Structure 1
Amino acid sequence: MTKKVIIIGATSGIGKSLAKYYAQHEYEVGITGRRSGLLTEIARELPDSKFFAAEMDVAQAQSAIEILNDLVEKMGGVDIIVINAGVGFPKANLEQELQTVDVNARGFLALAHWSYQHFKLKGKGKLVGISSVAAVRSSPYSPEYHATKAFMASYLEGLRLRSKKWKDGVDVIEIRPGYVDTDMTKGQKGMFWVATPEKAAKQIFKAVDANKSVAYITRRYRLIGLLVSILPEWLLAKVL
Structure 2
Amino acid sequence: MKRAIVVGASSGIGMEVARLLRENGWTVGVAARRIEMLSEFDFNAKIDVNDDDSESKLLDLIDSVGGMDLYFHCSGIGHQNRQLEEEIEVQTVKTNCLGFTRMVGAAYRYFSSHGGGHIAVISSIAGTKGLGPAPSYSASKSFQGIYIQALEQLSNRNHLNIHFTDIRPGFVATALIDDGQSYPLVLDKHSVAEDIVRSVIKQRHRRVIDWRWRVITRLWRLVPNIIWRHLPL
Question: TM range, normalised to the smaller chain?
Answer: over 0.9
1:139 is matched with 131
Give me the whole-angstrom Cα distance separating, in 2, the residues matched to 1:51 and 1:213: 30
- How many angstroms does 1:84 deviate by? 0.6
Residues 136, 228 of structure 1: 8 Å contact kept:
yes
- How many angstroms does 1:233 deviate by? 2.9
Structure 2, unpaired ranges of 5+: none
- How many angstroms does 1:165 deviate by? 2.1
Structure 1, unpaired ranges of 5+: 44-49
Residues 7, 75 of structure 2: 8 Å contact kept:
yes
Residues 39, 53 of structure 1: 8 Å contact kept:
yes
Residues 92, 140 of structure 2: 8 Å contact kept:
yes
1:47 is matched with none
Query: For residues 1-240 of structure 1, what are the structure 2 equivalents within 5 Å?
Result: 2-40=1-39, 43=40, 51-60=42-51, 62-91=52-81, 92-186=84-178, 187-192=180-185, 194-236=186-228, 237-240=230-233
RMSD: 1.3
Give me the whole-angstrom Cα distance separating, in 1, the residues matched to 2:54 and 2:219: 37
- How many angstroms does 1:190 deviate by? 4.0
State the TM-score, normalizing by the size of structure 1: 0.91
Give me the whole-angstrom Cα distance separating, in 2, the residues matched to 1:74 and 1:26: 17
Residues 59, 99 of structure 1: 8 Å contact kept:
no
Deviating above 4 A after TM superposition, structure 1's stretches of 4 or more consecutive aligned residues are none
Give me the whole-angstrom Cα distance separating, in 2, the residues matched to 1:188 and 1:228: 22
Structure 1 letter corresponding to 2:33: R
1:46 is matched with none
State the TM-score, normalizing by the size of structure 2: 0.94
| Identity across matched positions, percent | 30
- How many angstroms does 1:166 deviate by? 2.1
- How many angstroms does 1:239 deviate by? 4.9
